[in-house]
Structure 1
């Protein structure tokens, strides 16, 4: 199998050489024939000159021989015989008819020698032709006249220029061919690598379990991976109907407006960041999809298409809902007996006949019951927020008073670790809000600032009031958090790895509940932190919630 592949290029090359030899000689013969034909029409006595006729016949005979000789089987050096014979024949014809213009035909063999045989052919051809011209002139019966010497000198000079120009042009063309060949090899290698990388990327994208859709600049899908096709097929959606898919908000009932559909936004070139929606008609099988999309820009920052990533999160959302339902159910079942236990503990502690040891044990039980009740309350609040049932009762209140009361309540716990509160600014701030829920937010922020602070640390509290909103800033001097920990900070039940195995207790619900309360008021809760530089919690509220 390998041997024929090696022979094919050699055989093709030899046939090209043979064809090139014949065509080059044919050019000399054709030029000679044209000269003879034109001259014969003008002068019928031209063919009576035996020297001229002999030279012309040698040219035609050489052309005929070049067509029949198997040059592919001969060494390259034998090809030089043809241009040499042509030079001899043309010099003979020139001697027969010096004024006919046969001298100009000497250019063709010189070009041939310079092209195919390089510098040696160029120099040798000019020297050989000059020798022939001078030898022919000296061999005449009459001596060379003074008027003919310049002509004999000019012809070699002209041929030398032609040979030099042809040689340099041929050399430059060969260098360009070599460069083009090298570039072609590089381009072919780059093309092979590009195709290999494209195939690899296709296999990678088709092996993932989430959908990937690519768009061109006309917002038409030009790539859909296997997972996305399977997702479409489950709902009977065709690839060209991507923009017409009916999708619903997270409540599975409210449809998206056509312009706000995630697929439409992605195909318009908008950035879509982790939008969750439900696909499928109501009352039928529905699936939850999490989608993100990014536009692709060309070198001039113009829209050149986009890519969209979609993931089926139906199982995850159903698992979260089942967990929340279980938490809410268990919390409801725990609250009633826990309230009863706390009531009986209070009655027992009111008994003045208790000995100190028993009273101490009952106080420990009461304290842990309070902690357990707070945990149950957090769980119920989380369940209510998940179902969008978090009750907010608006009434006039002073946020500064709420902050002051929360500080006074937290001072004993902070004092146990020698942590001090610093009031940077605490102006009177009146607003319409739920004072009970805001106290819950502030207690959570202070609790975190104490738990995750260093012993002997500080908590700075700043309350500021602007025209549009109120801002509460709580800054601690604790251990801080990494960027990765901050990404999941508001997820329910999330606790950072750095504190999960420590003695610091927590449920991972406080910040999630606090942010939900702030957002229910029309505000927000954000956190800024860095490892070893403490944490800053910023709660913002509008004046009229």
Structure 2
């Protein structure tokens, strides 16, 4: 191959000053030309490298793969190749290189020599190894899914648990059905509900909990989170999922709920008897005024205890609410007016203006008792946490086959760091505790469970000292979830 001297000199200058290791390799593997970058990378002088072949510089474990590609190129099966391989540094250490090789031929197509480019990726490889160690040793199952739903990579933790929901094996594609159940432990998930399928559809979520395993005695509970993976230009590359086993937590919660329900049942019977006899005593006409006043205090506190027991019972039954709903055609406008009438005397006594804005009639499919419970709780809370002279506004409307209920107050508000906890069981805000506002922290947990059981959603927006807005959305044709 004839190359004009000027072009040849330019090519040599480019090779020598390239920041990437470069070499011209003879057909027998000897290094004919070597640049400074490769010399510095491997710790040899350029003359020392030219007395060696690439075989001597390659780690023994990577030599066979390199030689196989080298021979394929010489045989004309491929024109070039690329691979990651290890090189032996002059001091005995290992250098990782990203090798690109192309074969140069003369005008008649006869092989002349190889041109190799080697990028030092040792630090990158060490980083990858550290990440790989973390990926494999964390106690959380990790899964990477491609944009087409194919499982691209998973760690050992996730691999070891796949046999529980999929005893016959997993095909490595999102949405495969198996022994995966909702939290009731009875209802199998559909393909659209599987966390892997949801993630491939572009959803991101946290704490999506469920049970896996066909045998209730040995099944496990998991909480899954998903995030979308995107390229530099925002193009979708798939999804990453993290699976945390929460079996012990779920079983402990079940035991706690059963205990709370059992104790509540046991206390309710004697309390009902106490309230009955209090009614009889108060009806007697021969009681002194001071005794009658004391009985009113006892009765008031006994009723508070009865309400607490009722809340505790409902908390214990929250997991089964979906199956317990009694759906029928319900006029929510009428229910909201009734709930407002119930809290009106208390609001009036505190000088709180109660505003109700509802259509004459708005009918949906729902459980009337449960929806009334939601309305009672939201309105009574709004009144309870609104100072004298404030305003509570309840509105109802329909938006795109969805019923929207909003209860807005000008009350004490909720601190930003507490907003995310208001629907947690037994949670009470700092300000409510400081001002000794009575409550158990169970009402909003029950409200959230009822709304969720109807397939709806409840959210809150709040500002300290300005008030809160609770927003409930319900499908107009609810099905128990």
1:31-180, aligned counterparts within 5 Å? 173=13, 177=17
Task: Give the distance between the partners of 2:367 and 2:238, measured in 1 at CA.
Answer: 48
Match of 2:448 among 486, 494, 515: 515
Residue 181 of structure 2 corresponds to 249
Paired residues for 1:487-502 under 5 Å = 487-499=420-432
Shift of 1:194: 2.8
Q: Mean alpha-carbon deviation: is it higher for 308-317 or for 225-234?
A: 225-234
For 1:519 and 1:403, how far apart are their aligned partners in 2? 19
Cα distance, 1:366 vs structure 2: 0.6
Offset of 1:354 from its aligned partner?
1.9
Pairing of 1:349-368 with structure 2 (within 5 A): 349-368=282-301
Does residue 198 (structure 1) correspond to residue 128 (structure 2)? The answer is yes
Distance in 2, Cα, partners of 1:252 & 1:435: 27
When residues 390 and 410 of structure 1 are mapped into structure 2, their CA distance, relative to the original with a 3 A threshold, is farther
Change (3 A) 1:223 1:394: closer
Structure 2 counterpart SS, 1:526? strand
Cα distance in structure 1, aligned partners of 2:362 and 2:205: 38
Structure number with greater Rg is 1
Distance in 1 of aligned mates of 2:440 and 2:264: 14
**Kept after mapping to 2: 8 A contact 1:400/1:426:** yes
1:338 is displaced (CA, Å) by 0.8
TM-aligned CA deviation for residue 410 of structure 1:
2.1
Q: Which has the higher helix share?
A: 1
Give me the TM-score of the superposition, normalised by structure 2.
Answer: 0.66
In structure 2, stretches of 5+ residues that fail to align are 22-35, 42-95, 98-118
Are residue 231 (structure 1) and residue 164 (structure 2) matched? no
How much does 1:324 deviate?
Answer: 1.1
What per-residue deviation string (whole Å, max 9, x for no partner) do you get for residues 90-138 of structure 1?
xxxxxxxxxxxxxxxxxxxxx9xxxxxxxxxxxxxxxxxxxxxxxxxxx
Q: Structure 2 vs 1, CA of residues 270 and 408 (structure 1 numbering), >3 Å: closer, same or farther? A: closer
Higher strand content, 1 or 2: 2
- The alignment partner of 1:296 has SS state of strand
TM-score by length of 1: 0.59
DSSP-derived class of the 1:306 partner: strand
- Extract unaligned runs of 5+ from structure 1: 1-110, 112-161
The structure-2 alpha-carbon separation of the partners of 1:183 and 1:364, relative to structure 1 and needing over 3 Å to count, comes to farther
Q: Deviations over 1:503-537 (max 9, x none)?
A: 12322221232234345556543323244432112
> Retained in 1: the 8 A contact 2:166–2:179?
no
Matched residue of 2:418: which SS?
A: helix
Stretch deviating more after TM superposition (211-220 or 302-311): 211-220
Deviations 1:31-78 (A, max 9, x none): xxxxxxxxxxxxxxxxxxxxxxxxxxxxxxxxxxxxxxxxxxxxxxxx
State whether residues 353 and 390 of structure 2, in contact with CA within 8 Å, keep that contact through their aligned partners in structure 1.
yes
User: For each residue in 1:432-473, what CA deviation from the matched residue of structure 2 results, as whole angstroms up to 9, or x when unmatched?
Assistant: 655443332222011211232234322122233568454332
Q: 1:373 aligns with which of 306, 321, 333?
A: 306
> Offset of 1:262 from its aligned partner?
3.1
Matches within 5 A, 1:302-317: 302-317=235-250
Alignment size in residue pairs: 380
Q: Does the alignment pair 1:276 with 2:209?
A: yes
RMSD over aligned CA atoms reads: 4.0
Q: Deviations over 1:376-426 (max 9, x none)?
A: 112222333322367545566654444344334323433554432234x24
Aligned match of 2:359: 427
